[in-house]
Amino acid sequence: MNIEKARAEHAYNTIKDLPEDVKKYTSYVKVLPAAILQNGLGQAMATLLAASKGNLAMENGEVVSAHRLLFSHIQRWLCRDEPLAPFRTENGADDDSDILMEKITSNNEEFYIRAQTEALAYLTWLKKFASAFLPEGEDR
């Protein structure tokens, strides 16, 4: 499987598994690429974490924080247990962990640039599927 197909498949599976009542996720995923380009991957991800105010992404099948949910989706892609993952993590990344921030701050610039480029490529698919399958609405 080529990387573009893998991105599309992962993004599709990520979006299709979300509950129908998720709100604002689509808005957040649409603006995240610009935030990454303007501020860098690390600051954009830290902003998502700050906006989540320490909440979990989901609890009892309901979205608690769309910011944290988006962070966890990017984290799962960048920190998956596959050779092509920029921040390969054995057993992948847990949705409510902060392993992505650890990897961003502890790796060299080459890994950072690779991860940023990969996040932007992945977000292209995530945006398309979110726009196609999720409603836009008020924040949760």
Q: Is residue 140 part of a domain?
A: no
Window from 1-15, 19-33, 99-113 with minimum mean pLDDT: 19-33
Determine the average pLDDT of the residues in 4-26.
Answer: 90
DSSP the chain: --HHHHHHHHHHHHHHTS-TT--SHHHHHHHHHHHHHHH-HHHHHHHHHHHHTT--SEETTEES-HHHHHHHHHHHHHT-SSTT-TT--TT---TT--HHHHHHHHS-HHHHHHHHHHHHHHHHHHHHHHHHH-------
Q: Is residue 138 part of a domain?
A: no
Band the pLDDT of 137: cuts 50, 70, 90.
low
**pLDDT in the model for residue 95:** 67
**pLDDT in the model for residue 61:** 78
Is the pLDDT assigned to residue 97 strictly greater than 90?
A: no
Q: Is residue 63 part of a domain?
A: yes
Q: For residue 13, give the CATH number of its domain.
A: 1.10.520.30
Number of domains in the chain: 1
Percent of the chain with pLDDT over 70: 94
Q: Is residue 139 part of a domain?
A: no
Determine the average pLDDT of the residues in 22-34.
Answer: 91
**pLDDT in the model for residue 59:** 80
Domain holding 127, by residue range, is 3-133
Question: pLDDT, tens digit, for every residue of 29-86?
Answer: 999 999 999 999 999 999 999 999 888 888 877 788 899 999 999 999 999 999 999 9
**Average pLDDT, rounded, for the chain:** 90
